[in-house]
Amino acid sequence: MLVITSAEDVTADVVISALNERRVHVARIDPADIGPELMFSAHIGDHSPAWGGRLRTPSRDIALEDVWAVYYRRPSPWRFEGLEKQTREFAVAEARHGLSGLLYNLPNCRYVNHPTNIGRADFKVAQLQAAARFGLKIPRSLVTNDVTQARKFVSEPAIYKSFRGAPTAPEGNVAAIWTQRITPRDLDDSLSMTAQLFQEEVHKIADARVTVIGRAVFASSIITPDGALDWRSGDWDELVYEPIAVPESIRDRLYEYLDHFGLVFGCFDFAIGAGDGSGQSPDTWTFIECNPNGQWGWLPDSNAMAEAFADVLLEGWGHE
C-alpha cells in the first residue's frame, strides 16, 4: 500500500499505525522529495499495456505493479529550491505531469481519495450545488465580484467567507481568514478585483463535523464557549465535543454526495439550528461545506476513524 503525503502528516501516521497492526506492507512517499531522496523509473509498451517500474527512497524500493491501494493525503508543495523562477516553473510542471501523472494512474488500484476527484470536489460552488441537488438544506449564497449585487445580498444578515484562505507568507507565516459577518457599508469597489462568496447567516445552536469513511459515519457536535461564528477562530482546547446522531435521511444524502464526486471519504460541516432543541430533525441541519481531504485526527473518535480507513483501503483484498 502506498501512502502519498508529507513527512509531518500526523493524520496519516494514525492510519499507517492501524495498517501496520494488520501486517500490511506500507510505503510512504512525498512526491516533493523528487531527486536523490526519491528516484523512479517506469515503462510501458512492448506488450505491456500498463505502466510498470519502481519507486525508490532511502528506505523503500517499490514495484509499481505491486501497489494495490493508495491513501492520498497531503504531499508537500514542490520545492526545487535554488532554481531561478523560469527553470523552477519548468521543473514543477514536468514533475507534476511525469511523477504525479504516474502516481495518479496506477492500474487496478484503489484510491482513497483519488486526487483528481479531490480537485473536482474541492470547489465550494460545486459542493453547494451537489448538496442542493441531493436534497440537503443549504444557505442562500452569492458568488460575485459586483459590489452592487453584493450590497443587495448582504442587506439581510449575511457572512463572508473565503474560498481557500490566505496563502502562506514568504517568511513562512500562516494566516487565516475566518468566516465573518458583513454589512453593505463594509463593501467597496475593490470587491471587483476577485471572486467573493457571501451567504445568509445561519442561526445555530452548534456546529457538526460529520466524517464519512466508506459507509462508516462519525459525527460530533462542536460548541464554542463564546458562541463564535466560526469555531476554528478560537482556542481549540476550549471547544466542547459531543457525539451526535446523524438523521438517516441526511446520512443517505451524504452517501449520494460522495458517490457523485467519486469519493470514498469526506469531512462534512453542518450548522445545527434550534428546531426542537434536539438537533435530530433533518430540517435543522444546514450543509456548509465538505472537505474531500479534511483533517480528522483531532476529533474524539479518531482511533475508530483510523480503523475505518484501514477497512476501506483493504476492501476487496485478502491479507494475513
Per-residue pLDDT tens digits for 278-318: 556 778 899 999 999 998 988 999 999 999 999 999 986 65
For residue 85, give the 3-state DSSP assignment.
helix
Look at residue 319 in the predicted model and tell me its pLDDT. 45
Last residue of a domain, one of 154, 181, 200: 200
In the beta sheet, which residues pair with residue 211?
218, 267
Residue 170: which residues within 8 A CB-CB, separation 6 or more? none
Residue 49 in any domain: the answer is: yes
Residue 240: which residues within 8 A CB-CB, separation 6 or more? 222, 223, 224, 225
d(CA 72, CA 127): 20
Nearest to 165 by CA among 230, 220, 223, 228: 230
For the chain, the maximum distance between any two Cα atoms, rounded to a whole number of angstroms, is 67
- For the record, the C-alpha cell of 311 comes out as 477497512
Element (H, E) at 142: strand 141-144
Look at residue 320 in the predicted model and tell me its pLDDT. 40
For the segment 128-145, the average pLDDT, to the nearest whole number, is 97
Q: Are residues 255 and 278 in the same domain?
A: yes
Give residue 82's region: left, alpha or beta (phi > 0; psi -120 to 50): left
Q: Are residues 181 and 241 in the same domain?
A: no
Residue 311 in any domain: the answer is: no
Q: Residue 198 pLDDT more than 70?
A: yes
Residue 82 in any domain: the answer is: yes
Domain with 150 in it? 141-200
pTM: 0.91
Look at residue 283 in the predicted model and tell me its pLDDT. 80
d(CA 20, CA 10): 15
